[in-house]
Copies of this chain bind each other. A is one copy, B any other.
Amino acid sequence: MTSSKSYSLLELSKLLETTLIGDGNAIVDNLKTIQDANDSSLSFVANQKYSKYLSSSKALAFIVHPNTIDGIDEGNYLVTDDPYLAFAKASSLFSSNLIKQNIGSVHPTATVFPETNLGKNVVIGPNVYIGPNCSIGDFSSIRANSSLVSDVQVGSNTHVHNGAVLGSDGFGYAPSKDGYIKIEQLGSLIIGSDVEIGAGCTIDRGALGDTHINDGVKLDNQVHIAHNVELGSHSAIAACCAIAGSTVIGKNFKMGGLSGVLGHLNIADNVTVGAHTLITKSIKESGEYIGIMPAQKPKDWAKSSIFIKRRK
């Protein structure tokens, strides 16, 4: 989104809680990578491997760590021990955040159950459906084409991106001689505050108890979370992952894309799972877990595959 906002470096140094080196009256009007910057850009070096571009970049000013400019005696800098965090805060200053512009509005094309408990300053987007027994906390948003099916509590400052389905029926059936008999899902989905639910995610409400997505959780797009899962606070899950029913996951869980956790497991705090990995057992010890089959040329893969299958 092209921003029309501009700031002096003096203003920015205060807003971003950084130390200014250089011209406080200089005006920046956009935020760019060090390679794409123009002569009115603010840029940043969060990873030392990009510091080599400092001298050739066109940016007017840079957010940097003190070490990055050690021995450099010209240019404009906003200096901080955590340049990436200062960059994140700067991104908000240059964003024309549509949600903030529409605060407090329910789009006329949304279908919202009359008893829904809508907090202050919520945004309900176009074509959203909100069913019975739902509540939305202050400053939260439900974006276009999402559904809150039934019995969903959303905390404050939580954002549900487009096309997500929350509070859907969990996948539960009892086998019988007449085929599967559906287990009606009587529980709720309880989502904390400061949560983001990516586009196209699906999170089922509980079967008898509840599904819990705790404070500060961030879900990328197309993540699926089954009924009665508890996902610990400040967890971050990449795209296209799935967590099966009744699994309880601790705080600060991280998972790469296309990965999964089987049902009815317990996962400790501070566990990190690689991409394209399946967790099949409970994990008591924090740390990293990975189970990627290495990709090879077809001939080599065929040999590895036969070798793996022969181990009997």
Binding site for B on A (CB under 8 A): 1-3, 31-33, 36, 82, 84-85, 87-89, 91-92, 94-98, 107, 109, 111, 125-127, 129, 131-133, 143-147, 149-151, 161-165, 168-169, 171-176, 179-188, 194, 196, 198-200, 202, 204, 207-209, 215-216, 218, 220-222, 224, 226, 233-234, 236, 238-240, 242, 244, 256-260, 262, 273-280, 287-298, 300-301, 303-305, 307-309, 311-312
Contact = CB atoms under 8 A, between A and B. Distances in A.
B303 A295 contact: no
Contact of A179 (B146, B208, B234): B234
Nearest to A32: B208
Contacts of A202: 163, 198-200, 221-222, 239
A147 B204 CA distance: 20
Nearest to A126: B111
B92 A184 contact: yes
Contacts of A222: 200, 202, 222, 224, 242
B184 A95 contact: yes
Nearest to A107: B111
Contacts of A97: 184
Contact of A309 (B82, B149, B151, B304): B304
A129 B221 contact: no
Nearest to A285: B297
Contacts of A111: 107, 109, 126-127, 144
Q: Is the interface of A mostly helix, strand, loop or mixed?
A: loop
A174 B85 contact: yes
Nearest to A168: B199
B196 A182 contact: yes
A256 B186 CA distance: 24
A241 to B, nearest CB: 8
A280 B129 CA distance: 39
B289 A297 contact: yes
Contacts of A174: 82, 84-85, 87-88
A109 B224 CA distance: 27
12 contacts: A36-B208, A98-B132, A109-B127, A111-B144, A125-B129, A145-B165, A182-B196, A198-B202, A226-B239, A242-B257, A278-B293, A296-B309
A135 to B, nearest CB: 13
Contact of A145 (B3, B33, B145, B258): B145
Contacts of A169: 161, 196, 198-199
A107 B112 CA distance: 13
A293 B280 contact: no
Interface centre among A94, A199, A289 (most CB of B within 10 A): A199
A88 B184 CA distance: 7
Contacts of A199: 147, 149, 165, 168-169, 202
Contacts of A89: 181
Given A173-B88, A234-B180, A257-B244, A292 B287 contact: no
